[in-house]
């Protein structure tokens, strides 16, 4: 039975697509009488089946070892096209994380979007989302992984633009799609180059080729930079990070997945490409630089945001910056630990944020306050998620932070400071948001704010308990170090940085009446951080301006040079025809004379040219 489940594990990503196809009558509006609920239940059922199937396969692989599953889907003559899946503990663990969080997010969406007229379409898109992510983590081919990343980009575009009647939503979806396309095009160049160099895009073949690549340093650098460009866009890293902030215009249940496991898929592909990227020290250094800038910069920007979803989205970019640093220093285990623990805590954080948004009908932090007594389950969920995100012993992200600091302790003390700084700023920001939402006096929008209904409360409470159990799960999977090997000074520094952030976040003055300070120096810093160091304006005056100039020059050349030449030929032909029509006499002798003279002149010209 176990072997049968393993051999049919290719169905796990397909379950999501099956749900999408089965719900087409409702999502397209063909069936209206029953309402959208059948489509909701079908997608939730498919996700639950995928989760159960994945759990059984995970247990079988845990006992028997990794396997590779190859499915031939087309064969003719010498042409053989196949899909290869890598069934390992790490891949299936990531798959279980995706399907589990997707199931909880769909249950949460059942309450969050209960009265939305396009509920069936949303759940169909969630199934599309889930299928793409599952295929990415299971694929053992770079070509298949790239194709599914493109499918993920399309899913992001459709979910961000879900409420397409709002102009701001349409702009956000467009910007998210185009920003990702920049990295995707460069990644495609790297994929094509690898195909030409290796002759295969299977990860195992690529790892064999890496042992003797025979590449010049220049070629290795270009290849490495092309391969990291795609994950840079997918993971919202500088300078392709603005899309994740704008993507918060989509529904909150989609944001739960986007900030926990969707961005994780891009980082997961980067981790699998790490042996190839390591051929170039320049590419590895670029990863560290990008990760450092994003981690510190996004943590600072998050502190100045007053939109609850945007402040958490910048925190996502910051944590993935730490993942880029871990890959750049060639410690993929640290990157995987951070991805795992961050995904669980961030999903719970966005669930609590969604509960607050639905109850108060607002995302503005300055319009909230006093919710701790009115929404106890949401308050507990937020506190648990916050503790799971910062380096406070013994919850989730503490172990990811500790593992990274422990590996960097001797060789890269500067990067240790980066990890500690991100932990400090994250704790400060989470405490700031907690005070604005749950403490203080009630505001007009929070005076009557009941706890959310059970479809939202049940998955939120379940994930709260699961977040508290993450250390036990990590210990059961043998992912925690024995206590005798724990770096005590690193542990103390990590806990101290988290506590310092919490204390400072609790003590700094917060004004809800004035979003901006009256003091000019403070206001300048506030604006600098609130507008993301004016990155969007910098793009407008550099990249956008350059593209506009090139477009104007191309338009001018096309209009006045290309079109002018074509129009001149047409005008000459028209004038020649109009002139020759007056020479028509109807006498064949004149026509023959004209032909003879013309052929003679042509012959003389050709003779002179040859001579």
pLDDT tens for each residue of 500-514: 998 998 888 776 654
| pLDDT tens column, 543-593 | 788 888 888 888 888 888 887 788 887 777 777 766 666 666 666 767 777
What letter does residue 453 receive in the DSSP assignment? P
**Choice among 32-46, 357-371, 429-443, 579-593 with the minimum mean pLDDT:** 579-593
What is the structure's pLDDT at 351?
Answer: 92
Q: Does the structure show a pLDDT above 80 at 400?
A: yes
What is the structure's pLDDT at 422?
Answer: 92
Listing DSSP states for 465-534 in one string gives HHHHHHHHHHHHTT-SPPGGG--HHHHHHHHHHHHHHHHHHHHS---SS-SS-SSHHHHHHHHHHHTGGG
What is the structure's pLDDT at 580?
Answer: 64
What is the structure's pLDDT at 289?
Answer: 92
Nearest to 335 by CA among 398, 268, 411, 435: 268
Residue 374, classed as helix, strand or coil, is: coil
Residue 200, classed as helix, strand or coil, is: coil
What is the structure's pLDDT at 58?
Answer: 87
What is the structure's pLDDT at 104?
Answer: 92
Q: Does the structure show a pLDDT above 60 at 322?
A: yes
Report percent pLDDT > 90 for the chain: 13
Q: What is the mean pLDDT of residues 529-546?
A: 80
Q: What is the mean pLDDT of residues 324-335?
A: 88
What is the structure's pLDDT at 263?
Answer: 85
User: Residue ranges of the domains in the chain?
Assistant: 1-140, 141-530
Name 560's Cβ contacts closer than 8 Å, sequence gap at least 6.
Answer: none
| pLDDT tens column, 288-304 | 999 999 999 889 988 88
Report percent pLDDT > 70 for the chain: 94
Number of H helices, E strands in the chain: 27, 2
| pLDDT tens column, 455-475 | 888 999 999 999 988 888 888
What is the structure's pLDDT at 425?
Answer: 92
Q: Does the structure show a pLDDT above 60 at 541?
A: yes
What is the structure's pLDDT at 586?
Answer: 65
Nearest to 41 by CA among 140, 105, 110, 128: 110
Q: Nearest 5 degrees, angle CA 519-CA 521-CA 526?
A: 90
């Amino acid at each position: 039975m176990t072997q049968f489940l393993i051999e049919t594990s290719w169905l796990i990503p397909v379950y999501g697509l099956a749900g999408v196809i089965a719900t087409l009558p409702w999502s397209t509006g063909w069936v209206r009488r029953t309402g959208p609920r059948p489509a909701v239940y079908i997608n939730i059922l498919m996700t639950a089946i995928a989760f159960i199937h994945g759990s059984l396969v995970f247990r079988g692989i845990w006992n028997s070892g990794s396997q590779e599953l190859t499915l031939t889907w087309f064969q003719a003559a010498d042409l053989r096209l196949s899909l290869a899946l890598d069934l390992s503990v790490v891949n299936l663990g990531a798959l279980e994380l995706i399907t589990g969080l997707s199931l909880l997010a769909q249950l949460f969406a059942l309450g969050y979007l209960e009265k939305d007229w396009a509920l069936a379409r949303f759940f169909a898109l969630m199934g599309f989302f889930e299928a793409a992510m599952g295929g990415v983590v299971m694929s053992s081919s770079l070509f298949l992984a790239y194709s599914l990343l493109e499918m993920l980009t399309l899913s992001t575009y459709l979910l961000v633009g879900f409420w397409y009647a709002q102009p701001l939503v349409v702009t956000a979806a467009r910007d998210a799609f185009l920003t990702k396309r920049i990295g995707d095009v460069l990644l495609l160049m790297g994929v094509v180059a690898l195909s030409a160099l290796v002759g295969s895009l299977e990860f195992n073949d690529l790892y064999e080729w890496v042992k003797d690549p025979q590449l010049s340093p220049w070629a290795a650098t270009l290849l490495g930079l092309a391969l990291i460009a795609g994950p840079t866009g997918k993971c919202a890293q500088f300078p392709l990070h603005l899309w994740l902030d704008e993507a918060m215009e989509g529904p909150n249940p989609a944001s739960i997945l986007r900030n926990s496991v969707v961005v994780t898929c891009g980082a997961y592909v980067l981790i699998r490409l790490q042996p190839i990227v390591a051929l170039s020290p320049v590419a590895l250094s670029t990863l560290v630089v990008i990760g450092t800038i994003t981690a510190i910069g996004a943590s600072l920007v998050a502190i100045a945001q007053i939109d609850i979803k945007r402040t958490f989205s910048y925190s996502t970019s910051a944590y993935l910056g730490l993942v880029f640093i871990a890959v750049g220093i060639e410690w993929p285990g640290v990157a995987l630990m951070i991805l795992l623990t961050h995904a669980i805590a961030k999903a719970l954080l966005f669930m609590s944020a969604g509960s607050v948004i639905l109850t108060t009908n607002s995302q503005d932090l300055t319009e909230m306050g006093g919710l701790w007594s009115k929404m106890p389950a949401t308050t507990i969920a937020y506190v648990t998620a916050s503790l799971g995100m910062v380096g406070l012993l013994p919850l989730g992200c503490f172990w990811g932070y500790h593992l990274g600091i422990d590996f960097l302790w001797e060789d890269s003390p500067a990067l240790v400071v980066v990890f500690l700084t991100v932990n400090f700023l994250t704790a400060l920001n989470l405490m700031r948001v907690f005070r604005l939402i749950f403490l203080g006096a009630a505001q007009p929008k929070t005076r009557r704010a009941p706890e959310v209904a059970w479809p939202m409360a049940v998955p939120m409470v379940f994930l709260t308990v699961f977040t508290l159990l993450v250390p036990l799960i990590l210990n059961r999977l043998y992912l925690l170090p024995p206590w005798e090997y724990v770096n005590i000074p690193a542990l103390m520094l990590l806990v101290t940085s988290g506590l310092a952030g919490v204390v400072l976040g609790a003590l700094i003055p917060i004004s809800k009446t004035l979003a901006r300070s009256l003091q000019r120096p403070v206001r300048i810093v506030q604006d600098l951080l609130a507008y993301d160091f004016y990155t969007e304006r910098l793009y407008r005056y550099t990249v956008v301006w350059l593209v506009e100039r090139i477009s104007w020059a191309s338009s001018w050349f096309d209009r006045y040079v290309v079109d002018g030449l074509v129009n001149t030929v047409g005008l000459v032909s028209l004038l020649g025809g109009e002139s020759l029509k007056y020479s028509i006499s109807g006498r064949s002798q004149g026509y023959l004379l004209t032909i003879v003279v013309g052929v003679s002149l042509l012959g003389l010209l050709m003779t002179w040219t040859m001579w």
